[in-house]
Chain A
């Protein structure tokens, strides 16, 4: 683990134990996030992105979910080995999270200012008025006039609510911000505003960012590094340039083939066949095997592991795509 590493997730396994089956949500993933680094986690519904994020804060709903094994090392300390009270201190203080739906994440009967003040006081030993000043500063920081301190969430639009949530998440100067689909519920022009805001603030405050999204475009514009997740495993990761310009995993290629491009004329999209396997009934070999045009015999029986193919570009595939394919 390097000097510069902020977060290191090692061989994380999370399962949901349901009444009749066991859902393997996250299957032994490992990754690191450096100080000040912006990392994107991309995948489709059910790939285990949100579960991964919740694990970092030890927030996986239990029951039915449980972190079966693995380590989450933040600043050199294992989060999962800590007591509930200690973890609570980390949440908000060291790691903050913003969620997808800004409409339901705010308490409708409290003014937005008071909600931010509450967070500030929860994590800092400050007086009421000091906390209120801080809350006002935070509102200004995310581009909301401080006079709106006393307004209620319903008086804000979706984009504005997301700004309030960002203000709340940043109120305690976290070292890592986890943003779970922060702009998926927003319109493109508002999305652009919010992404700009997150990016600007990240630079100003020097924190790391883990951006979870299904949108490859958002990652391209916001992150330094990207991890592609499929059925609970990371299948490809590396710098944006390495992954976007030199796709190695067939699933990544399928994802790119599925989005209509603005820059290239395509008559027909080239989507991935079929659907993601049932996470409670994963195949023995590679989870992508059945949909993969490149599958070879080995894929059916063995699970591929992430391997470095140079410059930190990692792929988990027995038969990766050739250069320029």
Chain B
């Protein structure tokens, strides 16, 4: 049944990317999320211009002030402007989230693809990753950070390692199905090399679920990082990472609720947006909806 013909004709000659964008635009939640994320990225880049105060400047005349025009998010126990600190905090959260995901994605896809494409490597790689994945997440992260020393770089490495098995499993599953596709066999029959088949036929077709996972778990990794900072294993004060700010402000929850709550809301906002965007991308990148 050629029910979809008209829809296709309109899109004749457009690339897959353009088609995905057309579909993404139809999902309002995802689109709004995308704009918010772009805004957050801009805030991170232009933090010094946007922040009214230095994030580390202490002012003992103005400690624990309630939000006002002068200090929109109030001040903390050292008189630092929470609004400025939240703005600078976007930098840390985004860097942690994105770096973690990029490293774990590259490593995971590499391992997963090897495991799927060369059956001999399948068991060694995947069983090792299974062992890795069977350790409770916080315990694993804490061990890694404690062993390597607690700073931002090590925290990113630990988080990246923690997220690798997920990507590997996803990539392996996808490659396993794709390598049995007839068009892959068609390329083998044409004499294409393994590298060509992987790079031009398999990976581009596996990109959609990876992008979705990427956006979905970026939010997760920011939360994990906040968790680590919260227990003192991530970013060290006075740097204004959001998780760290919650950790420091938790003692003031009953008297100055805005101090831990506002950075917390930022984390919630960012991860919600990433999740909605991921959701939207999953639909937009599904070629069956063409």
Contact = CB atoms under 8 A, between A and B. Distances in A.
A–B interface present (Cβ within 8 A): yes
A51 B2 CA distance: 11
Interface residues of A, number: 18
A62 interface: no
A51 B7 contact: no
B70 interface: no
Contacts of B10: 20-21
Contacts of A239: none
A21 B1 contact: no
A18 B1 contact: no
A19 B2 CA distance: 14
B6 A51 contact: no
B2 A18 contact: no
Contacts of B4: 18
Interface in A34-54: 45-46, 50-51
A228 to B, nearest CB: 18
A16 interface: yes
Contacts of B1: 25, 45-46, 50-51
B13 to A, nearest CB: 16
B9 interface: yes
B84 to A, nearest CB: 46
A106 interface: no
Contacts of A22: 6
Interface stretch (A87-95, A127-135, A250-258, A274-282): A274-282
Contact of A64 (B2, B3, B5, B9): B3
B3 A23 contact: yes
A50 B6 CA distance: 19
Contacts of A278: 2, 5-6, 9
A276 B1 CA distance: 12
* Contact size range, B: under 10
Contact of B7 (A19, A25, A45, A276): A19
Main secondary structure of the interface of A (DSSP, over half): loop
B1 to A, nearest CB: 6
A26 B215 CA distance: 44
Contacts of A64: 3
A109 to B, nearest CB: 23
Contact of A46 (B2, B6, B7, B9): B2
A281 B2 contact: no
Contacts of B2: 23, 45-46, 276, 278-279
A281 to B, nearest CB: 6
A278 B1 CA distance: 11
A20 B6 contact: yes
A280 B2 CA distance: 9
Interface in B1-27: 1-7, 9-10
Nearest to B8: A278
Contact of B6 (A23, A45, A276): A23
B12 to A, nearest CB: 11
A51 B3 CA distance: 11
A18 B8 CA distance: 11
Nearest to B2: A46
Contacts of A21: 5-7, 10
Contacts of B3: 16, 18, 23, 25, 64, 279
B201 to A, nearest CB: 27
A276 B3 CA distance: 13
B9 A18 contact: no
Interface in A4-42: 16, 18-23, 25
Contacts of A50: 1
B22 to A, nearest CB: 10
A244 B200 CA distance: 50
Nearest to A23: B3
Given A279-B3, A281-B6, 11 more contacts: A20-B10, A22-B6, A23-B5, A45-B1, A46-B2, A276-B2, A278-B2, A278-B6, A280-B6, A280-B7, A281-B9
30 contacts: A18-B3, A18-B4, A18-B7, A20-B6, A20-B7, A21-B5, A21-B10, A23-B2, A23-B3, A23-B5, A23-B6, A25-B1, A25-B3, A46-B1, A46-B2, A50-B1, A51-B1, A64-B3, A276-B2, A278-B2, A278-B6, A278-B9, A279-B2, A279-B3, A279-B5, A279-B6, A280-B6, A280-B9, A281-B5, A281-B9
